[in-house]
Amino acid sequence: MDNNIKIEKNFRDILNLYESFNDEEYFHSKCFSYSKIKDLHSNPEILLKEEKKDTKSWFTFGTIVDMLLTEKEEIVKDKIVINNKIPSAQFVKIANYIIENYSESQYSDIKSFTDEEVKNIYSNSGSNVIWKIDTMREKMINNLDSYLSFLVENKNKIIVEQDFYNEAVKIADVFRNHKWSSFLFMDDKDQEANHIELIYQYKIKYTINDSLKFKSKIDVIRIDHDLQTISPFDIKTGTDKPEWFLNFALYEYKYGYQGALYREGLEKFIDKIPELKGYTIDNFRFVYVSRLKPYYPVILQMDDLCHNEFLDFGISDRYYNITSLRDLFDELDYYIKEIDLGKTIIEPYELIGTFGEKVSSLYNRNFKQQNLLF
């Protein structure tokens, strides 16, 4: 046992020495990510769009839960602001558009916007109202006059209502305290006693196909220094019932891409760390708590067969037709070269060799019985 303690203490924090980015560097890095390629096959035009922070409510909720679970309390308090006077989603979008496209001197007095500017602000922010200009201006002033200055004062912070934040706290408590997931949130004393190391929001960079630079942020990495295993986890929450998430999330939301890519990237990353030679990467797992049933977590594990399906073979059955990650990497490499040549319209990679024609035949479909989902 003394030898085990010596090994554990020597290796503690080794992984942190090799982390690729801080938070700001991670966001601004031009490396590709899971979110950038998951819809690449059907929507290659995503490569031409600038990546922006997602402001959707469900994404914000998940971000807050992650923060509550993986960051220190004082850091969370510094990043989140409670405001119970947030305008409707329509005017939040308008406010974000104004801040992104106008200088502070321009929107410090929104009454000064011209009629044409008011129309453009509504239209370009996705608000297709049929109000008269005077009504547009009046509603914008009533909803945003004080809110815009509040946004400026709390720039780069997450602004939410109290009930929204309280729900996130409740979900985080389930993750942290339930017997099925509490092993991911052991305190320092328990970690040391059990030769376990927990690392949160770990950011890595790795190379695929010899030239494609990727990045991944892994919610939880659990290192067992006795068993010499490294286990990656992703924390999920949403409005799907637990059983629905377990049965369909890998395919419907393409989380299978995330699990396979993250595990593949982590294996490549760990392989370059001499101190961790001999450690094995465990299966990727998603830990999920439903906002509809916020009483217990469920864990969705991608075994080797599932991992290899998403990574190497793809999935084609009567319900899903999912391209393998290997094929996505080839597509990505092709699209990058096309963009480098100045192409602004990207033709689908799978149709290049057929001059746009695709033959449909039921007999050519690949039905894998093990993949059928009922």
- Residues 218-251 pLDDT 10s: 999 999 999 999 999 999 999 999 999 999 999 9
130-168 tens-digit pLDDT: 999 999 999 999 999 889 888 888 888 899 999 999 999
Residues 6+ apart with CB under 8 A from 83: 150, 159, 160, 161
Q: What confidence score (pLDDT) does residue 1 get?
A: 39
Residues 6+ apart with CB under 8 A from 70: 200, 201, 219, 220
Residues 6+ apart with CB under 8 A from 304: 283
Q: What confidence score (pLDDT) does residue 269 get?
A: 96
Q: What confidence score (pLDDT) does residue 271 get?
A: 93
Alpha-carbon radius of gyration of the chain? 24
Q: What's the rounded Cα separation, in Å, for the pair 71 and 186?
A: 14
In sequence order, which ranges of 71-114 are alpha helices (DSSP H)? Answer: 73-79, 89-101, 104-107
- Asked if the model's pLDDT at residue 369 lies above 50, the reply is no
The structure tokens listed for 90 are 């329509």
Q: What's the rounded Cα separation, in Å, for the pair 311 and 328?
A: 9
The structure tokens listed for 15 are 């992984």
User: Do 92 and 142 touch, CB atoms closer than 8 A?
Assistant: no
User: Do 267 and 239 touch, CB atoms closer than 8 A?
Assistant: no
Domains, in order of start, for the chain: 2-46+171-371 (3.90.320), 85-160 (no CATH)
34-67 tens-digit pLDDT: 999 999 998 898 888 877 666 678 889 999 999 9
